[in-house]
Amino acid sequence: MARLYLDAISKRFAGTDAVRAVTLDIADGEFLVLLGPSGCGKSTLLRLIAGLEEPTEGRILLDGTDISDEPPQRRDLAMVFQSYALYPHLTVEKNIGFPLRSRRQPQRTIAARVAEVAGVLGLRELLDRRPAALSGGQRQRVALARAMVRDPGAFLMDEPLSNLDAKLRSATRAELIALHRRLGATFVYVTHDQVEAMTMATRIALLNGGRIEQVGTPEELYDRPRSTFVAGFLGSPPMNLIDAEVRPHIDGLRVTAEGIDAALGIDAEEAIDSAISTRVIVGIRPERLRITRDISAIRGQVTMVENLGSEELIHVRVGDTVPGEANRPVVARAPRPAGVRVGEAIGFAVDPADIHLFDLATGLRLT
Ligand code: ATP
């Protein structure tokens, strides 16, 4: 069992509020990903959980017990670092067994446990090697094995895949998902890579400036981002965000801007005072724009077509954009070949359900 509860935890370094009043309930057996841009405080938050940093304020509970003052080795948690932190002079076998030897476990217990964990992670053939004679992916597995050998309640991982090449990273992602299922343990995993977060997490906590911007399943964050920050962080390319106006119309509300005139759905009617015009930021995912020859919601001129192999990214200039991001094109994602050329006039249709509305001043979701 390992339920972690972060109770209004803050960490202040000289002059920097790295983590600001974060409250987070991590259920037993979850794969929680701490996601966010560089400097948002995700590593600091993980180190606070591990006991490698002391909180300035707040408490950390493990299964209801306050562990805020416990040293790292007294917490039932194992940390896997980006650098793996393996001992170069020790063999793989000795590296994996290290946490048990330092706890003075009997030799036979250590040997049996190391063999078991090495079997799970496919390391049996490598037990006599030293870290220098291993590939990046193998080192990563040794670091994981060393964390697993004690059978901790929770695994804390700080960007463990960032030293691997793209192919190995994607294979190791799949291994980690399988490992999480098999162990049933709680995983708290730090990354700035949205693909890792989307594919592995049972829930994502997206951090921004030391605060939690949104917590939820990958689908919740992707489909109903709470703010323009979340909308712009997840998705590649990210959600199109356009400065626009919501106006009452005889058939209901419409969102308009230069080159844009689209019907809104029931959600918008409930969220927005339909009697007056309101300035908003409208958000549309690139894959939700459909090229059409009929009357279109968005019209513009193709400025660039990017070939991704199976798909194309079509960049279109359509009048107004978000303030401060002048002339940023709207990007649509379409199966290749979409059959459009640079310079061509183009129109897109979009379903009312695929239009997100955000407050112009705060960036918070309106619908
Ligand atoms: P990255 O993805 O770049 O590792 P991060 O989201 O993990 O970033 P942190 O490493 O947690 O961010 O850092 C959060 C903030 O706290 C940053 O502004 C960083 O400069 C600051 N910080 C982190 N550790 C210390 C420290 N020991 N002393 C002073 N400031 C620190």
Q: From the CA of 14, how far away is ligand 1's center (Å)?
A: 12
Q: What percent of the chain has pLDDT over 70?
A: 97
Judge whether residue 94 has pLDDT over 60.
yes
38 lines ligand 1 (CB under 6 A): yes
Residue 206 and residue 32: Cα distance in Å, rounded?
10
Q: From the CA of 163, how far away is ligand 1's center (Å)?
A: 19
Q: What is the ipTM of this complex?
A: 0.96
15 lines ligand 1 (CB under 6 A): no
The preferred substitution site among 43, 46, 193, 207 for testing ligand 1, maximizing ligand atoms within 8 Å of CB, is 43
pLDDT of residue 274: 66
pLDDT of residue 277: 78
Q: From the CA of 18, how far away is ligand 1's center (Å)?
A: 6
329 lines ligand 1 (CB under 6 A): no
pLDDT of residue 30: 97
Average pLDDT, the chain: 91
Mean pLDDT computed over 36-52: 95
Banded model confidence at residue 45, pLDDT cuts 50, 70, 90: very high
Nearest Cα residue to atom 19 of ligand 1: 39
Residue 259 and residue 278: Cα distance in Å, rounded?
18
pLDDT digits (tens, 9 = 90+) for 300-310: 999 999 999 99
Nearest Cα residue to atom 21 of ligand 1: 18
Judge whether residue 324 has pLDDT over 70.
no
The preferred substitution site among 9, 10, 16 for testing ligand 1, maximizing ligand atoms within 8 Å of CB, is 16
pLDDT of residue 5: 97
pLDDT of residue 275: 67
Mean pLDDT computed over 130-153: 89
Query: What angle (nearest 5°) sits at the alpha carbon of residue 76, between those of residues 62 and 178?
Result: 100
Q: From the CA of 6, how far away is ligand 1's center (Å)?
A: 19
43 lines ligand 1 (CB under 6 A): yes
pLDDT of residue 186: 96
DSSP 346-364: EEEE--GGG-EEEETTT-B
Banded model confidence at residue 327, pLDDT cuts 50, 70, 90: low
16 lines ligand 1 (CB under 6 A): yes
54 lines ligand 1 (CB under 6 A): no
172 lines ligand 1 (CB under 6 A): no
Indicate the pairing of strand 65-66 with strand 31-35: unpaired
pTM for the whole structure: 0.91
Q: From the CA of 195, how far away is ligand 1's center (Å)?
A: 22
Residue closest to 268 by CA, chosen among 363, 157, 356: 356
- Point out the least confidently predicted range of 168-172, 180-184, 239-243, 285-289: 168-172
- Phi/psi for 89 (5° steps) reads -85, -10
Q: From the CA of 39, how far away is ligand 1's center (Å)?
A: 5
40 lines ligand 1 (CB under 6 A): yes
Ligand 1 atom nearest to 47, measured from its CA: 11
Mean pLDDT computed over 85-114: 92
DSSP 34-80: EE-STTSSHHHHHHHHHTSS--SEEEEEETTEE-TTS-GGGSSEEEE
- Spell out where 63-200 has E strands: 65-66, 77-80, 154-158, 186-191
Residue 244 and residue 321: Cα distance in Å, rounded?
8
Nearest Cα residue to atom 10 of ligand 1: 43
Judge whether residue 121 has pLDDT over 90.
no
pLDDT of residue 325: 52
